[in-house]
Amino acid sequence: MCGIIAVLCLSFLLTPSLAALAASPPTLPSRHSGHADECTALLQFKNSLKINEKIVTTAVCAESVFNFTSSLKTASWKQGTDCCTWEGITCDNITGNIIQVDLTCSYLEGTLHSNSSLFSLHHVQELYLRGNHLTGTIPSSICRKSSLRVLDFADNYLSGTILPCLDNLSNLVILELGFNQLEGSLPRTLANCTNLMQLSVHGNDINDTFPFWLKSLPLYMLELGANNFHGLITSGHAAFPFPYLGFLMIRHNHFHGQLPPEYLQLSNLTSIDLSGNMFDGFLPIPPVTTEVYTAVGNKFTGEIPSSFCNITTLFLIDMSNNSLTGKIPQCLINVNTNIATLALAKNRLRGPIPEILARKNCSLNTVTLSQNHLQGKLPRSWASCKQLEVLDLCDNELEDSFPSWLETLPNLYILVLRANKLHGPITSPKFIHPFPVLHIFDISNNNFVGTFPSQYIANFNYMMGGDKGQGFLKYYTDVWMVPLSTTVIYKGVQMQLSRILEALVLIDLSHNHFEGEIPKIIGNLQSLTGLNLSHNNFRGLIPTSLGNLKHLEWLDLSLNNFTGEIPATLTNLTSLAIFNVSTNQLTGQIPLGKQFNTFSSDSFEGNPYLCGPPLPKPCTESHQQEVPSASQDEDDAERWIEWRAVLMGYGVEQ
């Protein structure tokens, strides 16, 4: 698969309305002698667990995509001080009772026992223990905390079943149990939690059918993703029977069947995630309130309904990996000018890419139309989309010259045009700073000719930074976070990257007809992690400046016409895992040392004048004086054509 999958991570993001409903009135911590027993109970709870700063949680604290920072909150908990002043503790400003315990991402490790002193806090309303390393089952004593409005055990290692007695928590508004190891079914007694508005069991091993029995609750968010839910989500209902629900997340389960096109249309949903199931038939049409619609990886067929154009609140559409046919509706990106993410990869769509008509109102941020049958030219009007960060059009039938007009886009991180019918020379840039923040540049498997302009290389400013970023490329709105992702050919293998690391910096010009020498200035791109120039007509010496690319992990120069020796400076590339200079006209001894001692003979074959390990041919004085003749160059050019025919499809999907 070649497209961008917009991964929606909402398990731990409360909507403003839910947060307001769950929260207590503003309080100020103050000293009250009457809660000394509560302070003692907290200290006992602290001492019952270990602190492990090496904890890596599944979702919340592990990466920078969430707005949670791990900290040693319990370090401020000291005997003889007022616990209302402790980090993570909130007290009622009138009674002094502890009403909130927030130990999110606090490096806590151990078993949460039913007799834990934590559960002796009689007035606590909000309990957040997410993002730790708590083990064991959900303590049954939690069911006696009738004051609880928020219970958050998400992102731990809790096992066993969800307690039926949770229905005793009559004031419960938010129940977060996602990213644990819970199993069994959802207890039907949850229907008695008449104030429940948010329920998340995402990322467990729950085996059940769709919980229609929760339809009478005022649920606003229902998140069942990544479990073993199965069956139909219609079951005799003509319309979706959850009148208050705004967020429906059922991705990566085993739901199946056809959804009537109008099934969701009369609901109040703002986010619909049906991805990773086995739904078939036509796409269900979302209501006019919808902001996010994802249906990735199902078996939906037919054309994209034009009624999607009437939903002006939509800003994210992901219908990738289905069997959709027909054309992309022109109105989809022109009537609805709020769309930021449009992902339609891996379908059977045909026809041209729509032009942008309202050029001053283009909000597109992430676009993947890859692995379809799209034809025609690249629309020049897309140069007006100044917010565009990701453009992935690979594996289509687009026929055009290089889209140099995209070089003016100030935020374009990823440009993937692989495997189309793009052709002709690439001329020097017209813009003074072309592609200033480009991380991934893939124009492989096309029919480009001539030299690749060194002016582009000289202006890939982001790629010149020597320090690699550690976060992920991501797109933010006020409520949503969508990490950017794509599919790349990396180290010779096609890989789906669900999140794009800032440190991943690639240039892939392979499988074209580029010629000339590699500009020495390429050694300035010190952030590069992958460089593929294989299957072209490059000639001349391999620049010694490539030895400056200290982060390079993959270098493929195979099937070209390079001459001279392999620069000894390349042994300085201590991160280099894949190296290939096979089928060139290289001469002399293969450098020794460091990473070069790990490469097999396959990396050097097809160079008759190379010698030394790992090749079986030893180096001699006469051998090093040999040079290839002109006729041998011609023979190798013919051999290059044969290799090109054989190796055009070397990518293997993972």
pLDDT tens by residue, 629-640: 433 444 443 333
Pick the last residue of a domain from 200, 227, 244: 200
Per-residue pLDDT band for 495 (boundaries 50, 70, 90) equals low
Residue 235: per-residue pLDDT: 86
**Mean pLDDT value of segment 360-366:** 88
pLDDT digits 0-9 by tens, 498-545: 444 456 899 999 999 999 999 999 999 999 999 999 999 999 999 999
Is 624 or 588 the better-scoring residue by pLDDT? Answer: 588
Handedness of CA 317, 278, 57, 139 (dihedral sign): positive
3-state secondary structure of 166: helix
In a domain, 653, yes or no: no
Which runs of E-coded beta strand occur in 283-413?
A: 292-294, 299-303, 316-318, 323-325, 341-343, 350-351, 366-368, 373-376, 390-392, 397-398
Provide CB contacts within 8 A for 635, sequence distance 6+.
none
Angle at 95 between CA 91 and CA 96, to 5 degrees: 35
In a domain, 621, yes or no: yes
Tokens 């800032």 correspond to 502
pLDDT of residue 307: 92
Work out the average pLDDT over 418-423: 98
Task: Return the pLDDT at 503.
Answer: 66
Q: Omega before 614 cis (within 30°)?
A: yes
Give the CA count within 13 Å in the CB-facing half-sphere of 238: 0
pLDDT at 492: 56
Residue 496 placed within a domain:
no
User: Residues of the chain with pLDDT > 90: what percent?
Assistant: 74
What local confidence, expressed as pLDDT, does residue 18 receive? Answer: 52
pLDDT at 370 over 50: yes
Instruction: Please determine, for residue 212, whether its predicted confidence score (pLDDT) is greater than 90.
Output: yes
Pick from 463, 439, 460, 471: nearest CA to 526 = 463
More confident residue, 10 or 575: 575
- Cβ–Cβ under 8 Å, residues 98 and 89: yes
Q: What's the pLDDT band for 390 if we cut at 50, 70, 90?
A: very high
Confidence of residue 336 (pLDDT cuts 50, 70, 90): confident
Q: How confident is the model at residue 3 (pLDDT cuts 50, 70, 90)?
A: very low
Average pLDDT over all residues of the chain: 86
Rounded distance, CA 169 to CA 512, Å?
65
pLDDT of res. 64:
47
Amino acid at the residue 197? M
Does residue 1 surpass a pLDDT of 50?
no
What is the reported pLDDT for 240? 96
Name the band, by pLDDT with cuts 50, 70 and 90, for residue 68: low
pTM, rounded to two decimals: 0.86
pLDDT of 124 higher than 60: yes
pLDDT at 245: 97
**181-185, 481-485, 575-579, 608-612: the lowest-pLDDT one:** 481-485
Residue 86 has pLDDT above 60, yes or no: yes
How distant, in Å, are the alpha carbons of 66, 72, 243 from that of 239?
A: 35, 48, 10
Average confidence (pLDDT) over 594-616: 95
Residue 63 has what pLDDT? 52
Is residue 575 one of the residues assigned to a domain? yes
> Is 620 contained in some domain?
yes
Examine the pLDDT at 62 and tell me if it is beyond 90. no
**Structure confidence at residue 646 (pLDDT):** 32
pLDDT confidence of residue 641: 33
The answer to whether residue 56 scores a pLDDT higher than 80 is no
Give me the percent of the chain exceeding a pLDDT of 70. 82
pLDDT tier at 559, thresholds 50, 70, 90: very high
Residue 450 token pair: 């001539």
Closest to 76 (Cα-Cα) out of 64, 68, 85, 67: 85
How far apart are the C-alpha atoms of 409 and 77, rounded to whole Å? 51
d(CA 575, CA 513): 29
Give the pLDDT of residue 236.
86
Per-residue pLDDT of 217-235, as tens digits, reads 999 999 999 999 999 999 8
Domain assignment of residue 180, given as a range: 41-200
pLDDT at 483: 46
Of 180, 200, 220, the one marking the end of a domain is: 200
Task: Residue 258: name the closest of 224, 241, 242, 235 by CA.
Answer: 235
Amino acid at 465: G
Q: Can you tell me the mean pLDDT for 582-588?
A: 97
Burial grade of 430 (CB within 10 A; 0-12, 13-18, 19 or more): exposed
Question: What's the alpha-carbon Rg for the chain, to the nearest Å?
Answer: 29
Q: Can you read off the two tokens belonging to residue 532?
A: 């593929």
DSSP state of 59: S
Strand, coil or helix: 74: helix
Residue that finishes a domain, picked among 144, 166, 200: 200
| Cβ–Cβ < 8 Å for 107, 61 | no
- For tokens 């027909």, the residue is 326
State mean pLDDT over 444-460: 95
Longest distance between any two alpha carbons in the chain, whole Å:
97
Per-residue confidence (pLDDT) for residue 359, from 0 to 100 = 73
Assess contact for 302 and 283: CB atoms under 8 A.
yes
Which residues contact residue 170 at a Cβ distance below 8 angstroms, ignoring those fewer than 6 apart? 146, 192, 193, 194, 195
Residue 82 has pLDDT above 60, yes or no: yes
CA-CA-CA-CA torsion sign (30, 35, 40, 44) = negative
d(CA 392, CA 373): 14
Mean pLDDT of 231-258: 95
Torsion of CA 552, 516, 455, 370, to 10 degrees: -70
Residue 209 covered by a domain: no
pLDDT category at 71 given cuts 50, 70, 90 is confident
Q: Are 99 and 91 in contact (CB under 8 A)?
A: yes
- Report yes or no on 261 lying in a domain: no
**Rounded alpha-carbon distances, angstroms, from residue 198 to 169, 224, 255, 323, 335:** 14, 11, 21, 33, 33
Q: What's the rounded Cα separation, in Å, for the pair 375 and 400?
A: 10
How confident is the model over 619-629, as pLDDT tens digits? 986 554 444 44
Please determine, for residue 11, whether its predicted confidence score (pLDDT) is greater than 90.
no
E strands in 282-382: 292-294, 299-303, 316-318, 323-325, 341-343, 350-351, 366-368, 373-376
| Residue 344 pLDDT exceeds 70 | yes
Q: What is the CATH number of the domain that holds 622?
A: 3.80.10.10
Which has more confidence, 488 or 220?
Answer: 220
Element housing 483 (H / E): strand 481-483
Between residues 58 and 305, the one the model is more confident about: 305
What's the pLDDT score for residue 29?
A: 40
Domain count, the chain: 2
Residue 131 lies in a domain: yes
